[in-house]
Amino acid sequence: MKREMLWHSFEREDLPNLLLGESQLAPYGRSHLSKFDLDKNRVAIGYAIDHRGRHFSNPSLIVVHEDNSSEILSWLRVYAPETSPLSQLSRVVNFKDWSLCENIEPTGTHPIITYHWACLTIGEMLAQSEIESDINTIPLSRAQAAYTNTVAKATILHEDKKITRSTINRLKTLEQEYRFVKRSVSVDDLRPMWDLLEDFKPDPRPSAEVIISLIDRIESSNYTSTRSLIGPRIRNYPGLLSDSIEERVVTFHKIATEILDSPSTHSLNSINCATLSAAAFLVGRGTSHIFLLRKWNKEFPASLAWFGLFAAYVGPGCWDPQWARAVKSIERPFQSNFDWMDLTQTDLCWPEYFWLSKTYEGHEVFSDLPKMYPRVLSIEVFPGASCQFRLLSSTTSAEVDSKKQANNSKREKELQFTLSELVSLAVKAKNLMASDYREIRQESFQLEESNSGKDTRSKRGGRPPSSKL
């Protein structure tokens, strides 16, 4: 993770010309960065050194101090708008994050197993989806917007619990941003799952034993505050272990109905979602029956995320082909190393986002920024770990809902009026057709009567008999 860098310290007034390539660097710099290099309104810029000792012309990293970052970023936005946002010129970090990353002692290599984070990421992607979807139809690019994906990268790349906790706390802050679209599954919903994956180890026992053991572990944890209102327990439903798929499905629906009717549905959301998910997993004895949870997605969206956790603990032996393929695709970025030289591939780094969100009100501060995607803002929550957020339009959600209701009401009235007109025209057409039919029948009857009289007279009078001579 550590990289040879040459450090230079500059006044904020010197940054625009330097970043745009209009001024020359001093021939020598420092190999170490100190907080004294960031006194007053100074900024430290790091340049990566190649194998010949030469540094690149573009900076790899910009470090600002927490105490004066607001003044520096404000000055650049006002007097040098061509350099704002600064995050799109180079990675921007605060000195605290830099020090924390630099002081971590690397453990050697990444953990061999990372698929458990990919499994939970898939579960969260399905849970956060606004429409019903399965693994085949949901774009894998949505993994970049999953909270779990961000926590996984921070955990795997830096291997430090302080950094993981800091990342989660920042995600909590981002979740409360009113300019972002709210999600179905919150950070607090996912925290129990992240805790269970923190010291993950594959479990060699049969899948049913693994699932039941996990449920017992969850029920005895601090996430269930009311032990007397646990609701259905997996162990009380032996039908889930039956060899009959029909009996397992019937048992699943019994558990789902009991959870929905339980008075503790909301107070024990975590354990209820986990129980429902475990039941669906046991029905299919693997990931094949995840579709059973779609019916309950609105009431228990986090159940799909729990399903991903169970898939992680049970392991690849119980994955269906679709799940296995998605896991391998999402797992690939977890195997890469972190380097300060890497491009951020984000719209904003954490220090600049935090400053913008606290300084400016209104939706325009983010919607008017140049971005990779029009309505999505990508933020590097912690160096190497980013997350995407969908922007809420300048019209508030309440206004959108009221407009939708007004439009729906107007359309309903127009539809009712149109239908009433159609009914009236249909009745009128029916009456006209009935009247015409009666007249036709009457005329036909009179014609038949007239023809009948003529035939009778003809028969009665007949032709006069011929006279015999």
Token couple for 151: 């926590």
DSSP lists the bridge partners of residue 382 as 385
Please state, for a pLDDT cut of 90, what percent of the chain lies above it: 49
Residue ranges of domains in the chain: 5-102, 115-336, 397-427
Q: Which of 261, 262, 264, 259 is nearest to 279 (CA)?
A: 259
Burial class of residue 42 in the structure, from the number of CB atoms within 10 Å of its CB (0-12 exposed, 13-18 middle, 19+ buried): middle
DSSP E strands in 375-448: the ranges are: 376-382, 385-390
Beta strands 61-64 and 5-11, pairing class: unpaired
Amino acid residing at 371: K
Q: How far is Cα 297 from Cα 229, in angstroms, rounded to an integer?
A: 22
- Measured at the alpha carbon of residue 332, what is the angle toward residues 153 and 154, in degrees to the nearest 5? 5
State the residue for tokens 């006069």: 464
Query: Are the C-beta atoms of residues 273 and 302 closer than 8 Å to each other?
Result: yes
Return d(Cα 194, Cα 313) in angstroms, integer. 13
> Nearest CA to 69 among 101, 33, 38, 100?
38
Cα gap 239→251, rounded to integer Å: 6
Question: What are the φ/ψ torsions at residue 371 (nearest 5 degrees)?
Answer: -135, 160
pLDDT score recorded for residue 218: 85
Taking CA 371 as the corner, what is the angle to CA 369 and CA 372, rounded to the nearest 5 degrees? 175
Q: CA 171, 176, 182 angle in degrees (round to 5)? A: 95
In what side-by-side order are the strands of the sheet with 376-382? 348-349, 376-382, 385-390
Q: Which helix (H) or strand (E) holds 174?
A: helix 161-175
Phi, psi of 241 (to 5 degrees): -100, 5
Calculated CA dihedral for residues 406, 411, 413, 416, nearest 10 degrees: -160
Mean pLDDT per block of 10 residues along the chain (469 residues) reads: 75 88 71 81 85 69 92 94 92 93 64 89 92 81 96 93 96 97 95 92 90 87 50 82 94 90 66 92 94 88 95 95 95 87 89 95 92 94 96 60 54 64 70 67 55 48 44
**Phi, psi angles (nearest 5°) of residue 222:** -80, 0
DSSP string spanning 200-269?
A: -----S-HHHHHHHHHHHHHTSTT---GGG----GGG-GGGG-S-HHHHHHHHHHHHHHHHH-TTTTTTH
pTM: 0.80
Whether 66 and 96 have beta carbons less than 8 Å apart is answered as yes
Q: Looking at the chain, how many residues does it have? A: 469
Q: For residue range 293-338, what is the model confidence (pLDDT) as tens digits?
A: 988 888 889 999 999 999 999 999 999 999 999 999 999 999 888 8
Position 55 scores a pLDDT of 64
Distance between CA atoms of 383 and 173, rounded to whole angstroms? 17
| Residues with Cβ within 8 Å of residue 402, at least 6 apart in sequence | none
